[in-house]
Structure 1
Amino acid sequence: MIDLIVIGAGPVGLACALEAARLGATARVLDAAVGPGASSRAVGVHPSALLALAPSGAGDAIAAEARQVRRGEARGRGRVLGAVRFARLGGAYPFVATVPQQRTEAVLADRIAALGGSEVVWNAEVRAVRTADDRCAVDVHDAAGGLREEYARFVVVATGARGADLTGLRAAARRHEYPDRYLMADVPDRGADGDTAVIHLHPEGVLESFPLPGGRRRFVAWDRGVPRTASGAADDGARLGERLRHAVALRTGSPAAASAIGAATGFGVRRVLVPRMCRGRVAVIGDAAHEVSPIGGQGMNLGILDAVTLARALCGPERRLTDAVAHLDDALDRWDRRRRRAAVVSGRLAAANTRVGRARGEWGDRARSAVLSGTLHSPAERLLASAYTMRFDPDGRLRG
């Protein structure tokens, strides 16, 4: 019987399996997809997550592939309002690493394979999870249509927000739907901002701009929303791309940067928090347990810290996996309280970022710009840098 079954091969599930493997445990990652995905929702890996992944070698490997963002600027009406300097925070990773999500996942999977003892299995859909005092069983539906049982000492659910509620914990979660909508696209970088991340404040809403490897850049724009057309998703992508091109040209003042945009995607935001992240020998982590607004880029990093700390609680020197549930509960209760507290902090910061980015109108935008400029030219700038890089997370300075 293996130590961990991890359900979900996204960055959070892979981070949990990797840390377990580093500690000498055996883990099997099961995912219903046919193979690694090509989507790239999350692109910013914060110093806190890099530090947590450093003992396995993944922190340095991700940083080596990434654009290293050491400075973020706020701009409005063609002028710089102020800057957040991540490099001033020091530490092993004085930057935000921007890298496509599929590359982060590939690095984690490569490190799992290099350490041995754990594996990633595709085309394996988990239909149910059952627990007993000394083990868990999962029902797995495979590509051939067969159904089998697999056993482990502990199960970790890292299926993301869209995964099935295998534990029943999400049914009792607190939820809040935001009215905000955003447009997003990753495109060739035709601007002149280099490795600087930029937030453009505008009466029509915020526009965020992040550098990516390979001479590319991500644009995310607040949008009033547009109804879907009857012609389908492809047409929607073109129409949303047209809206994003207009937003980029207007809010940055750079038609050249806007000209690179073809199709775009749209998304909404919500906030979710389960009442508990663990029950018996099963835990939920990442977006399966808590969702925060992606504006601020804390969701994936929050999940990676969930994953690494859970693996250490279970597979560290005390080897709590071999304990009865009664003894295991004490360690998991402490972990649960810390990580839900972290989710509350991140949720509040993300909600504040969302509110700041909304359309304000002419005079509201002037007032917002003045307040932000004053903040960034005061000692509070360092606090903003710390908050953005998740140093306020209870495990934000985690070491191996």
Structure 2
Amino acid sequence: MAEIPGPELLDVAIVGGGPVGMFLGILLARQGLSFRILEQRAGSSPHSRAIGIHPPALAALAQAGVGAALDAEGVHIRDGVARSRGRLVQGLSFADASPASPHILTLQQARTEAILEARLRELAPGALLRGVHVQSMHDAGTHVELAASPAAGDPDGATCRARLVVGADGGHSTIRRELGIATTGRDYPDTYLMGDFPDTGSDGATAVLYLEPGGIVESFPLPDGLRRWVVHTDSLLEGASARELAALIRRRTGTSVDAAANSMLSAFGVRSRMAVRMVQGRAVLVGDAAHQVSPIGGQGMNLGWLDAAALAPVIGSALRGRPTGLLLERFEKTRMSAARRASWQAGLNMALGRPLPASCLEVRNATLARVLHSTWLRNAVARRFTMQPVGRARQ
């Protein structure tokens, strides 16, 4: 088999070149480590399912030199409101809850990935290899060997040898499978239909949750005058049209969107999966390979970035021969705890959005309004939704 271009023995092989894998590559390049990112997609994806960047992740991305570019292109959401049957339930101010980190950033995932890739190519030209499908791995004790599927013009396939391997290859992780790491979790009954339409409303840069008897409708501003709509559905509406989504939005919220101008449409179900460990031998799992959480709340991509930010210095220490046993143990413990917290929050978000009889909805909404009348509780909820520690904000 041919050898992946590069040093005879890499410091790190990253399997998966999505936003998490590329971010980790940037962090390793800044440490001067040798690495390759092996991505099975031949080109970048045009799809933009993930859009939200929460303050902790934005701070980590800033340290990697991409925060300013993301900040300049994204929409700054400083406020959110919940409405029901045409009436205000309660509002949240992310700026009041955390003056030092006053907003959530929304940006289409395709643009986020493009910014990350540009930074990666600036720091480590040639490190990202596309069209490479890793099929198996072998821990040889002193290093790890990866076998990849044949590339164009290479009938014998390719191998990659690295001192460490990181699986950033998503929910169906090959690396997790090769390590034999089990997962726990469940498939939820909740299904959603989402799409992007021109924003013709008056909500500006405010996120809106419509708590309706038929199920929640979420609305988030995006760059280029767009707004993303996410609707809870009774079943998975694969093959649904933009016109059908527009009809659901109008029926539940009274808002009209232009179906003919729809630019993204996707139906999805929800699953939660947690690997029983993130570290094994010379391999580490990050992102969805380690923990899949519901996309409701927009935490998954952020969790992966924070995994990478926590892992990069540990990798640097390990490759420089420093003792890292306790560091890896702490990394795994803290990141799995963060994933469990995010999964719990996502479950709560979904429960809040399920259909309810109008009478029960009124009682629940009134209870929410009373609870969130407290400034401290309102700010605590806002901080929880933005993946920040709950407590009094520091000025």
Length-normalised TM-score, structure 2: 0.90
Kindly tell me the number of residue pairs found equivalent between the two proteins. Answer: 380
Runs of 4+ in 1 over 6 A off after TM superposition: none
3-state SS in 1 of match to 2:268? strand
Distance 1:364 1:191 in 2: 29
Q: Which residue identity lines up with residue 379 of structure 2 in the other structure? A: R
Pick from 307, 320, 323 the counterpart of residue 321 of structure 2: 323
3-state SS in 1 of match to 2:368? helix
Matched, 1:4 2:16: no
Residues 167, 173 of structure 2: 8 Å contact kept: no
Pick from 161, 172, 179 the counterpart of residue 162 of structure 1: 172
Q: Which residue identity lines up with residue 270 of structure 1 in the other structure? A: R
Distance 1:199 1:158 in 2: 32
Cα offsets for 1:302-339 (capped at 9, x unmatched): 11101111112112xxx312439xx4443212111111
Residues 191, 257 of structure 1: 8 Å contact kept: no
Q: Which residue identity lines up with residue 318 of structure 2 in the other structure? A: R
Partner residue of 2:4?
Answer: none
Deviation at 1:118, TM superposition (A): 6.5
Residues 78, 206 of structure 2: 8 Å contact kept: yes
Residues 54, 105 of structure 2: 8 Å contact kept: yes
Partner residue of 1:72?
Answer: 80
Deviation at 1:7, TM superposition (A): 0.8
| Distance verdict in 2 for CA 1:114–1:50, change over 3 Å | same
Matches within 5 A, 1:54-203: 54-90=62-98, 93-116=101-124, 119-141=127-149, 142-144=151-153, 145-168=155-178, 172-203=182-213
Cα offsets for 1:322-373 (capped at 9, x unmatched): 439xx44432121111110111110101100011100001112112211222
Partner residue of 1:232?
Answer: none
Matches within 5 A, 1:327-346: 327-346=323-342
Deviation at 1:170, TM superposition (A): 6.8
TM-align CA RMSD = 2.2
Residues 169, 274 of structure 1: 8 Å contact kept: no
Distance 1:98 1:170 in 2: 36
Gaps of 5+ in 2: 1-8
Residues 5, 152 of structure 1: 8 Å contact kept: yes
| Distance verdict in 2 for CA 1:87–1:96, change over 3 Å | same
Partner residue of 1:314?
Answer: 315
Deviation at 1:259, TM superposition (A): 7.2
3-state SS in 2 of match to 1:84? strand
Matched, 1:245 2:246: yes
Pick from 341, 352, 357 the counterpart of residue 356 of structure 1: 352
Deviation at 1:91, TM superposition (A): 5.5
Q: Which residue identity lines up with residue 321 of structure 1 in the other structure? A: L
| Distance verdict in 2 for CA 1:4–1:271, change over 3 Å | same
Matched, 1:369 2:353: no
Q: Which residue identity lines up with residue 147 of structure 2 in the other structure? A: D
Q: Which residue identity lines up with residue 213 of structure 1 in the other structure? A: P
Deviation at 1:153, TM superposition (A): 1.5
Distance 2:197 2:208 in 1: 15
Distance 1:281 1:91 in 2: 41
Q: Which residue identity lines up with residue 271 of structure 2 in the other structure? A: R
Cα offsets for 1:237-296 (capped at 9, x unmatched): 32xx34322221022212246775587321110111111001111111111111111111
| Distance verdict in 2 for CA 1:26–1:374, change over 3 Å | farther
Matched, 1:23 2:26: no
| Distance verdict in 2 for CA 1:263–1:64, change over 3 Å | closer
Partner residue of 1:218?
Answer: 228
Tell me whether 351-360 or 21-30 shows the greater mean CA deviation.
21-30
Cα offsets for 1:363-389 (capped at 9, x unmatched): 121122112222332121111111011
Residues 126, 140 of structure 1: 8 Å contact kept: yes
| Distance verdict in 2 for CA 1:373–1:247, change over 3 Å | farther
Cα offsets for 1:114-173 (capped at 9, x unmatched): 223772111111111212332211112223343121111211111111343554457521
| Distance verdict in 2 for CA 1:170–1:247, change over 3 Å | farther
3-state SS in 2 of match to 1:161? coil
Q: Which residue identity lines up with residue 372 of structure 1 in the other structure? A: L
